[in-house]
Amino acid sequence: MAMRGSLEHRRLLGETIRGKRKKAKFSQEKLAERAGLSTVFISRVERGKESPSVDSLVKIAKALGLSARDLVHAF
């Protein structure tokens, strides 16, 4: 049961990040560059394949001009 919840959170987070990135008109490459992360990592997070650390989540949020709270408020 905990695993299912974890997978759902990753999926929701990934969808939220993708939506905010597209709203900002950023490519994955541009977001990765602005956040100091790899494009592969951004792709995996957006697809719910990987969970970002708190540090990475903050970097992604700042690169999008948001707070980490803006990315996780849905859950």
CA 68 to CA 59: how far, in whole Å?
Answer: 9
Q: What percent of the chain has pLDDT over 70?
A: 95
Helical segments of the chain, H only: 2-23, 28-35, 39-46, 54-63, 68-72
Q: Give me the residue spans of the domains in the chain.
A: 2-72
For 35-54, how does the pLDDT look when each residue is reduced to its tens digit (9 = 90+)?
999 999 999 999 999 999 99
CA-based Rg of the chain, rounded to a whole angstrom? 11
How confident is the model at residue 1, as a pLDDT?
45
Question: Residues 4-30: pLDDT tens digits?
Answer: 678 899 999 999 999 999 999 999 999
60, pLDDT greater than 70:
yes
- Give Cα separations from 27 to 33, 35, 54 (angstroms): 10, 12, 22
pTM for the model stands at 0.92
CATH code of the domain made up of 2-72:
1.10.260.40
